[in-house]
Structure 1
Amino acid sequence: MSKDPVSATLAYHELTKHRLPNRYARSLGYLDWDNQPNPFRLYEGSERDVLARDDERVGPTLDEAYDPARISAHPLDAAGVARLLYDAMALSAWKEVAGKRWSLRCNPSSGNLHPTEAYVVGEVAGLGDGPRLWHYTPLLHALERRAAVDAGLWDALRGQGEGVIIGLSSIPWRESWKYGERAFRYCQHDVGHALAALALAAAALGWHTRMLPSLDDAAVARLLGLAKIEGPEPEHPDLALFVGPRLPSHAPVVPESLALGLSGVANRLSQSHEPWPVIEHVAGACRRVGAVTFDEPSPDALPEPPPSGSNAAAHHLFRTRRSAVAMDGVTGLSRASFLAMLSRTLARPGHAPFSSLLGRPRVHLLLFVHRVEGLEPGLYLLLRDPSVREAVAASMHEGFGWEPVETGALALPLWCLERADTRQAAGLVSCHQSIAADGAFAVAMLAELGPALADHGAWMYRHLHWEAGAIGQVLYLEAEAAGRRATGIGCFFDDGVHEIIGVGDHSLDTIYHFTIGGAVDDPRLRTVDAYEHLAP
């Protein structure tokens, strides 16, 4: 790969495209079950703070939880941190069939492989004396004490803020075990899902969430105790979020000399490994070095959708979200529900989860509409930043109609490009998967890949995928609230989508697919309580 980071990143993107009719990015080609990675990171020898589990179905609705300013802030204490992690990163259930069992989590993951790890830094009432670094283990719903943090350092990090720092990292081996070279993309999707899950769970507590752009990858690694990225199971730093009742007004800095006195040894996830050097190469090319700033206008905030009518507590939806494995090909969606879902994917100041991302929206939704009442089937486009309409239209097929869709008071930047039966096309470009054709609608998320990397550097490749994952998390929860199910689709024929819209360069690249509809449940599966294994 090229030594230039942007060129190297684009080369990786090209290398890992799935291509029609049936050529897929390199992987092992089979599942090496003997070396399936352990989905749970544990630090053996670390003391653990066991967190409370609260399954009460009360609290703000999902509509209310998008705006933390509407909700009275929960105190920053052990109960609040426990609730945050329980709603965002914890186990949500176990599934059983034919003597086999596997866990599900509140934050979804490609292939249910879960490369994302979470860490907590701060001082929390009820969790020991003084500030600490903890690792969160969803298996036990507990915080593992990794290190004490100097009180002066913590004061400097939080400034006038009240909250904790949540750090996210990725272990690519968990994904590459199955998906090979394309796994780096999926790790980034999963970070986006986790970021959105945390931001929304925090908002339901009346807490705010902000990414800390002053902390680059090396600073995040130092703060999380991940300074040595080596071996067959490297853990890459992704980002740091400040989460709590009051955000800091300054730009925190982690001293380059920081060396925490760490306790505990990370468990080994597999006995043997298949190396995928291209993943480490692109991770190096996408490394963020130094603080970043964005000086660009955000889109005008559009009106919020009216209340959905769902009285379900957001806490309940966070924990009962599931990924559909098949759609029934019959169940549709009302026009009002469809437009409300799209409205919730737009960024609004102070609203979770998109206020936690950096810069303006750069991921847009190409919609394959199949079964939406009052809306003709066809190909539609939601521009999450309508200021790019002229540039986007110039890059697409000249024959598209660009007919504005009447959305009433929502005033959505939504256009009908072409009326057509798009079911076959949606299934085809999503790796021949009928689930993309059998829902109410399917989505191809189009990222301004080339322009974003040119403007801000190769690390934006990761951020674009985080943005797509965050959109996916909103769609998951909106589907649940509407009585439907959703599924993220990481397998798609990249250039098959580009041919449909007529884009031949990196001005727009599809980076994530999604589908929403009526799920078909497998009656053979038995659902088991998430923490039955901890029962006395």
Structure 2
Amino acid sequence: MSFSSSSSSSSQPKADQLRDEKLLQVLKYHNQTKHNFNKYARGPHGLDWANQPNPFRRYLSAPLLPPLLHFPTQTEPQKNSNPNQTQSQTAQQNNPDDPYVPPLYSSLFHSLPPPKPISHSTISQFFYDSLALSAWKSTGYSTWSLRVNPSSGNLHPTEAYIIAPPIESLSNSPFVAHYAPKEHSLELRAEIPSGFFPNFFPENSFLVGFSSIFWREAWKYGERAFRYCNHDIGHAIAAVTMAAASLGWDVKLLDGLGNVELKKLLGLEIFPEFEIPSRPVKGKFPEIEFEHPDCLLLVFPSGIGKQFDVNYKELSSAISEFSNLEWKGNPNLLSKQHVCWDIIYRTAEVVKKPLTIGDSFAIDPFKSSGVCGEGSYKDFTVREVVRKRRSAVDMDGVTAIPRDTFYQILLHCLPSGCGSEGKQRRQLALPFRALPWDAEVHAVLFVHRVTGLPAGLYFLVRNEDHFSELKNSTSSNFAWAKPEGCPDDLPLYELDKSLFDSKSSGSRLSEKLSCHQEIASHGCFSLGMVAHFESTLREKNTWMYPRLFWETGVLGQVLYLEAHAVGISATGIGCYFDDPVHELLGLKGSNFQSLYHFTVGGPVLDKRIMSLPAYPGPDSDT
């Protein structure tokens, strides 16, 4: 007995030391990859176009399952006997069960439609409206594709997998498949045991897994690429959550599983172990193209209630047998030569999450979002919004939005939805409800062109438990006052209007902080996403580091969709000066850190670029 006690007590300091070492590595990475006025984070001095990574992973010799279906983006004109209805509303009324007529975008924030069964058609719609190609673009000798899920630099490091029970017209057996967006098809990787789904998950449910190829992003962005890969995971989480919602499906992150389980489940053990060099090096490293397993999402019928739980210990044991499956296909080579930024891979190692058996799986009731300026929406269907979303390359510096539209957009950015009870904290509203942790990300807003609202610096508090800490941590000169007309359940605060005394001073400020990019000031508003940072990593563990970026990506996807739904556009900004943002707010230390910037406004269209249909696309892309 005394030996056991001694052993336990001696192992605890070792565990604490290891945890501290991991935290130091994360903080080292985060600080080393900051941009500053006098120095940018390390990256390539120029783009090696000859070795630009192929944006499409394929598993060579893996059989393609029967082709997924395609769907019209725009609702076909309907005979309308009611002049007060839009065509989309009429189409839904005339064909309530028609799978080709998705619900209106704005309706999903109030309630989800009745869940549809899993079928060839609904799985096709799910991928078509979340991860598929949305268009091809062409100018001069260059042709490139766009996707429904956005990506930093359109580099697309995110790969997606489905683990599903038998689906008629797709597979007679339960299976693991890789999604190939260029073909809008599923590549069969393995058939799995028949008891896997009924033993652990409810009927009509399936799993979606995401992985990242760091090299794709590092080719352009160097050491900062790990940040951007995790932004993209967040965008993908939100994209699949919105597509699932349109089919009446709910989504939840299965975050009790660890890196080892995800690697086995997605068939990523096929990749050889990557030996991390001691410094950045260039050469032929095909093993650098491995896929890092990120997360696993359960997609299940909405409204199912607390009718099931997930036994992570037994699930992990079942997944361990996946190593013995017959995995099909070998990954294609993406580049002939590579550059290894070693700090990316060291950081990815220390934030790998282990299996946490004690984690509970909670399905919270759906919480609707607030209503302020819902008349701003253009009655687009979900498919019209998600498939026509584009990243603006420039803003016109003229377009303004009404104050109520601005408030409505922010109401859809709240994690807990709206209502008379409780504060903003838990993530219960669409699409944030996919994340199991309390909100850790806030937004500092640079308001430029919102009619009825003074230009200035504002702050959206997305977890009201942080309010006192935020107020005490930021400049004592900030007003923290509710702006005029702001809904009671929108925790938005005016900080400082004096910084925007003239139009030019406000523009210079937001441009300057976003790497001198005019797009940050030429929109209606821009923002920086400020995360509850070091204390979260200390209290919850270092594996929260990528998850903080996932949350910013989910929030960014909402901003993309909201902008398009009200008739304007948006763009994510990964290049900004980290510490100058903190200095503007008066933040010291690392308890709050800016992790992502965004701008929303009237886009400038480049008429030199031709837009082509997503499918069928060109024969080849550059």
For the superposition of Structure 1 and Structure 2, which TM-score range results when normalised by the shorter chain? over 0.9
Q: CA deviation at 1:169?
A: 0.5
Which residue in 1 is equivalent to 2:398?
330
Letter in 2 for 1:92: S
Which residue in 2 is equivalent to 1:467?
551
Q: What are the equivalent positions in structure 2 for 1:288-303 lying under 5 Å apart?
A: 288-291=353-356, 293=359
Partners in 2 of 1:486 and 1:277 — Cα distance?
Answer: 33
Match of 2:413 among 341, 345, 350: 345
Q: What are the equivalent positions in structure 2 for 1:225-264 lying under 5 Å apart?
A: 225-227=267-269, 228=271, 229-230=273-274, 231-245=287-301, 249-251=308-310, 252=312, 253-255=315-317, 256-259=320-323, 260-264=325-329
Letter in 2 for 1:188: N
Kindly indicate whether the alpha-carbon contact (under 8 Å) linking 1:368 and 1:423 is maintained by their aligned counterparts in 2.
no
Query: 1:384-407 deviations in whole A, cap 9, x for unaligned?
Result: 011211111111111111112244
Which residue in 1 is equivalent to 2:603?
519
Identity %: 39
Determine helix, strand or coil for the equivalent of 1:511: strand
Which residue in 2 is equivalent to 1:418?
496
Partners in 1 of 2:414 and 2:308 — Cα distance?
Answer: 25
Partners in 2 of 1:303 and 1:180 — Cα distance?
Answer: 38
Kindly indicate whether the alpha-carbon contact (under 8 Å) linking 1:161 and 1:249 is maintained by their aligned counterparts in 2.
no
Letter in 2 for 1:466: W
Q: CA deviation at 1:303?
A: 5.5
Partners in 1 of 2:369 and 2:71 — Cα distance?
Answer: 33
Partners in 2 of 1:197 and 1:345 — Cα distance?
Answer: 15
Match of 2:594 among 475, 486, 510: 510
Kindly indicate whether the alpha-carbon contact (under 8 Å) linking 1:219 and 1:254 is maintained by their aligned counterparts in 2.
yes
Greater Rg over alpha carbons, structure: 2
Q: CA deviation at 1:213?
A: 1.6
Residue 90 of structure 2 is aligned to residue 34 of structure 1: no
Count of aligned pairs between the two proteins: 530
Q: What are the equivalent positions in structure 2 for 1:344-493 lying under 5 Å apart?
A: 344-348=412-416, 350-409=428-487, 411-419=489-497, 420-421=499-500, 422-493=506-577
Q: What are the equivalent positions in structure 2 for 1:273-284 lying under 5 Å apart?
A: 273-284=338-349
Q: What are the equivalent positions in structure 2 for 1:310-325 lying under 5 Å apart?
A: 310-325=378-393
Query: 1:373-431 deviations in whole A, cap 9, x for unaligned?
Result: 11101000000011211111111111111112244545211110000322211111101
Query: 1:56-87 deviations in whole A, cap 9, x for unaligned?
Result: 433211111235x5312222111111101101
Letter in 1 for 2:170: L
CA shift in 2, pair 1:395/1:154, >3 Å: same
Letter in 2 for 1:363: V
Stretch deviating more after TM superposition (252-261 or 461-470): 252-261
CA shift in 2, pair 1:271/1:211, >3 Å: same
Partners in 2 of 1:201 and 1:70 — Cα distance?
Answer: 11
Which residue in 2 is equivalent to 1:220?
262
Residue 201 of structure 2 is aligned to residue 201 of structure 1: no
Q: CA deviation at 1:318?
A: 0.7
TM-score (norm. length: structure 2): 0.82
Q: CA deviation at 1:452?
A: 1.1
Match of 1:153 among 196, 201, 204: 196
Stretch deviating more after TM superposition (55-64 or 403-412): 403-412
Kindly indicate whether the alpha-carbon contact (under 8 Å) linking 1:303 and 1:410 is maintained by their aligned counterparts in 2.
no
Task: List alignment gaps of at least 5 residues for structure 1.
Answer: none
Kindly indicate whether the alpha-carbon contact (under 8 Å) linking 1:66 and 1:203 is maintained by their aligned counterparts in 2.
no
Which residue in 1 is equivalent to 2:104?
61
Query: 1:229-280 deviations in whole A, cap 9, x for unaligned?
Result: 5321121001000113256722252323431210011101001101111111
Kindly indicate whether the alpha-carbon contact (under 8 Å) linking 1:294 and 1:358 is maintained by their aligned counterparts in 2.
no
Kindly indicate whether the alpha-carbon contact (under 8 Å) linking 1:447 and 1:510 is maintained by their aligned counterparts in 2.
yes
Match of 2:174 among 131, 149, 168: 131
Partners in 2 of 1:409 and 1:434 — Cα distance?
Answer: 31
Letter in 1 for 2:603: A
Q: CA deviation at 1:450?
A: 0.8
Partners in 2 of 1:204 and 1:413 — Cα distance?
Answer: 28
Partners in 2 of 1:60 and 1:66 — Cα distance?
Answer: 11
Q: CA deviation at 1:301?
A: 6.7
Query: 1:421-465 deviations in whole A, cap 9, x for unaligned?
Result: 222111111011000011000010000011210111111011110
Q: CA deviation at 1:517?
A: 0.4
Match of 2:161 among 116, 119, 126: 119
Q: CA deviation at 1:221?
A: 1.1
